[in-house]
Every structure is written in C-alpha cells, then in structure tokens.
Amino acid sequence: MKLFKQSKSFWFFILLSLAAFGIIQALIITGMLNGFYVNTIIFVAINIILAVSLHLIIGITGQFSIGHAGFLAVGAYASAIITMKLQLPFAAAIIVAGLTAAFTGLLIGIPSLRLKGDYLAIATLGFGEIVRIVLLNVDYVGGASGMQVSHLTTWGWAFTCMLIAIIVIVNFTNSTHGRACISIREDETAADAMGINTTLYKVVAFAIGAFFAGIAGALYAHNFYIIQPSNFGFLKSFDILIFVVLGGLGSLSGSVIAAILLTIISTFLQEYPETRMIIYSLVLIVTMLYRPQGLMGTREITSLFKKRKAAEGGTQDDSKHTVA
C-alpha cells in the first residue's frame, strides 16, 4: 500500500507545482512581474535543474564531480548551434543539448569514474577546463568572443524542463536503481560484493546528471544574448557545487532550496561580485566547520511532514555520511 501512497504524494506535488506555475505565468502575462523578476525566476529554474542534476552524481551516487559547468557548456553550445547555425526549433535544441552532454558524460565518465574521491574531483575539474579551452579554440563557435544567441527561453520552457528533471531524478532515486547508487555512496566495496555493477551505475548517474546539465545549458544560453567560454569556468562549477553541499549531500529538496535561496541572494548582490564571492566562500567554510551535513542532511523536506516514529525521532539529526 506504500506504493499507492507514494503516487498520491506524487500527484499532490504535480498539482502544487502546476499551481505555482500558473500563478507566476499569470503574473507575467498581466505584467505584474517586470523583466528583472522574470529573468530571476527563470534563472532560479535553471539553477534548480543544475542543482538536482549534480545532486544525483554527488549526493546520491557519492561521486565527487566538480566540473559540472563543463556539461552546462556542452549543452549551451550544442543548443546554440542547433538554433543559430542550423535554424532548427528550440525544442530540438533542448533535446540535442541534453543528449550531447549525456554523451560527453559517458565519454568522460567511463574512464574517470574508476578514480575515487579527491582524484575524481581533480579529473572532473580538469575535464571542465578542457571543455572551456576547446571552446576557446574552435572558430566555428566564435572562440573567445563566443556566440550570439537569440532569447528564446521563457518561463514555460524553464518550468517544464525543471519539472521533468525533478521527476526523473526522484523516480530514479526511489527505485532499485537509485538504491544501487546510494549503496555505492555508502560503501562501494560492499555494493560490489552485493552484486551491484558499480561501474555501470556510476556511469548511468553521471550520464543522467550530464543530460540535465546539458538541458540547463540550452536554457541558460537562450536566456542571454551571447555565450562565451568564460561563462563556464570552474567558478560556475563551484556555484553549482555550493547548491548541493549547502542543501545537504543526499537531499534533493535541500539542493532545490539552496538553489532558490542562493540564486535570489546572488541576484541582489550582482552589483557587488566580490562581496558575493566572499559571502559564498564564508558560507561554504562555516557550513563545513559547523554543519558538514548541510541544510537538510540526507533527509527530504517531505519527511518533515510525515509523522515521525518515536523511535526514530532524535537519532537521525546527527547522522552524517562519508562520501569519500
């Protein structure tokens, strides 16, 4: 009967988010939200996609990847080529962006996911830099001066993609496949000994994460008028990493909340980029020192609404897990 309950909360979630979508859409149509706010809201949606896609890789599967901006870049450029060079519709661009990034994810994931912890982190960081340098050197996409892109991203597109990303990742996580990934995070040797094809699941998580980062890239590119390799440096990767870490490694709702909060904060600090980075870095350090499990730990926001069993009550709060 648990299954029935799950799908009930699923429909509740869909209903709630459609309502949120409707309200914002209405506000946009009636002109009550000006361009600045619309842009911010779209940006929140894009960052949520990035956060949940990295959450799958780091929070669920425990693979410490810090080159996520590389996939964002691949998606952004792939989509820009589709719309600007090939004059194809935006929908095609979004799908191609996702697939190209997923393919890149496979390409980079298969060799590098044999590495663990710090080494994987550095390899993915290196990968992100390689993507940027390749884009810098390819004249077809404009080199350092970048590509002109039309403004095609609307709140509708951003919302739809965000909803799909969340649903896919939640559905994946709450299944035997998601459990396989979590078992890798918890103890890779034991997962292997239980018959889990750890390499396969690491690569799958990486590819799904890259897919959605690519889609975010398409939305990102078409929300600006120009994209340049310098938009996708490792500072961008760190931005995404902060959502996941601050939200709580292993908590999807945590990373969504962190993405919303930090996007709004950084929008208001746009005029003061140094202040923003200093606040970001201090938040990062203080979080690691005093609350390394992040905002939510591995819990989800839905668990706060459920009646907790007395036996579970207090013990869960101090839980932390090792990812390395």
Kindly state the smallest distance separating residue 311's Cβ from other proteins, in Å: 7
Q: Tell me if 148 contacts other proteins by CB under 8 A.
A: no
**145 touching other proteins, by CB under 8 A:** no
Query: Mask 7-26, x = binds other proteins (CB under 8 A)?
Result: x-------------------
In angstroms and rounded to an integer, the radius of gyration of the C-alpha atoms of the chain is 19
Q: Which residues contact 214 (CB under 8 A, 6 or more apart)?
A: 71, 72, 74, 75, 78, 97, 98, 99, 100, 101, 102, 104
Chosen residue from 148, 150, 175, 302 binding other proteins by CB under 8 A: 175
Judged by CB under 8 A, the residue of 44, 50, 204, 256 near other proteins is: 204
d(CA 90, CA 96): 10
**Residue 96 or 204 with smaller CB distance to other proteins:** 204
Residue 134's alpha-carbon distances to 75, 138, 159, in angstroms, are: 14, 6, 31
Angstrom distance (rounded) from CA 242 to CA 51: 9
Stretch that binds other proteins, among 35-43, 73-81, 96-104, 192-200 (CB under 8 A): 192-200
**Site for other proteins, residues 217 to 276, rule: CB under 8 A:** 234, 238, 241, 245, 249-250, 274-275
Q: What is the DSSP letter of 307?
A: P
Among 106, 264, 277, 301, binds other proteins (CB under 8 A): 277
Q: What is the 3-state secondary structure (H, E, C) of 3-31?
A: HHHHHHHHHHHHHHHHHHHHHHHHHHHCC
Which is nearer to other proteins, 92 or 320 (by Cβ)? 320
Q: Which of 12, 18, 118, 140 binds other proteins (CB under 8 A)?
A: 118
Nearer to other proteins, 88 or 115 (CB): 115
Residues binding other proteins: what is the number (CB under 8 A)? 80
Of the two residues 90 and 232, which places its CB atom closer to other proteins in the complex? 232
Q: Which of 38, 84, 99, 136 binds other proteins (CB under 8 A)?
A: 136
Contacting range for other proteins; rule: CB under 8 A; set: 71-79, 132-140, 149-157, 211-219: 132-140
Q: For residues 36-95, which are near other proteins according to CB under 8 A?
A: 64, 66
Least Cβ distance, residue 260 to other proteins (angstroms) = 20
Report the C-alpha gap between 136 and 143 in whole angstroms.
4
**What 3-state class would DSSP assign to 226?**
strand
**286: how many CB neighbours lie within 10 A of its CB?**
10
Asked if 54 and 65 touch (Cβ cutoff 8 Å), the reply is: yes
Q: With respect to other proteins, which residue has the nearer C-beta, 36 or 290? A: 290
- As a whole number of angstroms, the distance between CA 315 and CA 34 comes to 46
The correct pick among 20, 86, 107, 114 for binding other proteins (CB under 8 A) is 114
Give the integer Cα–Cα distance in Å for 302 and 8: 13
Shortest CB 58 distance to other proteins, Å: 8
Q: Return d(Cα 73, Cα 89) in angstroms, integer.
A: 19
| Rounded-to-integer distance, Cα 209 and Cα 101, Å | 9
Please give the angle made by the CA atoms of 154, 253 and 220, to the nearest 5 degrees: 25
Residue of the chain from 14, 18, 86, 288 that contacts other proteins (CB under 8 A): 288
> Per DSSP, what are the bridge partners of residue 148?
226
Segment interacting with other proteins, rule: CB under 8 A, options 23-31, 32-40, 115-123, 155-163: 115-123
CB of 221 to other proteins, least distance (A): 22
